[in-house]
Structure 1
């Protein structure tokens, strides 16, 4: 697999305030309170409030959980096309950003509606600290470039290019981008949607 270069993909600026406004509009249209959506998404009310105000930017997993709680998709919240395709050429990937400082995603799927796996390539800038998470599902990460300090429960792993981590996401986890270059990570995660239809 060829690692994407900075020249290969444009890095669009994130617009967390616009995302927050989109989430707030959807929540109010459904007649839901912050507390109700936060409970459905297994997030704190304070964090969700910060997301709506553009102060904090959610991880992709948390955004999927918010979208599920609001009975919509991340594509609709981000105002990007929702495309399903079994085959995605290397120069035909959809990209979108979350946050304002160099964090963006290349979609590698899903290939069809109702897919349980969500593969993507994640680009994160030096020093980025991911949201601390604990939710239903599993995650697989293959580090393409850069270096990560990956916290999984009480364990800490220093990941270098070629290293892999695969774990139950019910174990609390987060990671930090070490060094002075961006981390490029291949992720495959399962949908954080519970049997009840709410998200984890």
Structure 2
């Protein structure tokens, strides 16, 4: 069983992002433009008002020429095999939402696989960005909004789509969801 690492508060995550942004001499506008997010959202993250989703956090880290592991002080190991008992996990500051790192197994990998655990009622941020994503629902139930369509997902269902389409999901089960995600890293000009 994977051991969950201590949760970082939204404030700690925000301070880490702000520290890195300032060290690079970048403005909120530059980071927002490069990450394809709003200035208001980046500002709220830096002030600890909210925590970004994994996808948004990856885009912020990319715009800051770093990895989310470095921003979260999680060790970054590039090994082709990840043993279950050595799997790294981390939280992005919201109680009940945590991630198990399944890869990447090498520097420059094109896909980022992880398992996400979300509590009942959790609603992901609304997003659209370059790339693609695949989700396999291991446990629980989701309401997955993709464009104008709403898909009800139960354990065993999967969805795979172009992430330029607006999308978000909501946990509708009374128990946490366990979701296997494989997403492409956002492509930026770096």
What is the TM-score with the length of structure 2 in the denominator?
Answer: 0.97
Residue 85 (structure 1) aligned with residue 79 (structure 2): yes
Q: Deviations over 1:19-75 (max 9, x none)?
A: 100100111111111111111111000000000011111011111111111111111
- Aligned 8 A contact 2:13 2:93 in 1: no
Residues of 1 paired with 2:137 and 2:61: CA distance? 27
Q: Which runs of 5+ in 2 are unaligned?
A: none
Deviation at 1:100, TM superposition (A): 2.6
Aligned-partner SS, 1:27: helix
1:66 corresponding residue in structure 2: 60
Show the 5 A alignment for 1:30-45.
30-45=24-39
Which residue is equivalent to 1:175?
169
Q: Residue in 2 aligned with 1:127? A: 121
Contact 1:13 1:102 in 2 (8 A): no
State the 1:16 CA deviation.
1.5
Deviations 1:67-122 (A, max 9, x none): 11111111111011111110011111000001231110000100100000100000
Q: Secondary structure at the match of 2:130?
A: coil
Name which of 153, 159, 162 aligns with 2:147: 153
CA contact (8 A) 1:143 1:164 kept: yes
Cα 1:81–1:18 shift into 2, 3 Å: same
**TM-score of the superposed pair, with normalisation by structure 1:** 0.92
Deviation, structure 1 residue 12: 3.2
The 8 Å contact of residues 116 and 181 in structure 2, kept in 1 or not, is answered as yes
Q: Single out whichever of 31-40 and 152-161 deviates more from structure 2.
A: 31-40
The alpha-carbon distance between structure 1 residues 95 and 21, as it changes in their structure 2 partners (threshold 3 A), is same
CA contact (8 A) 1:11 1:102 kept: no
Paired residues, number: 190
Structure 1 residues not aligned, in runs of 5+: none
Q: Structure 1, residues 109-162: CA drift from partner, whole Å, max 9, x if none?
A: 001000001000000011100011101110000000010000000000000000
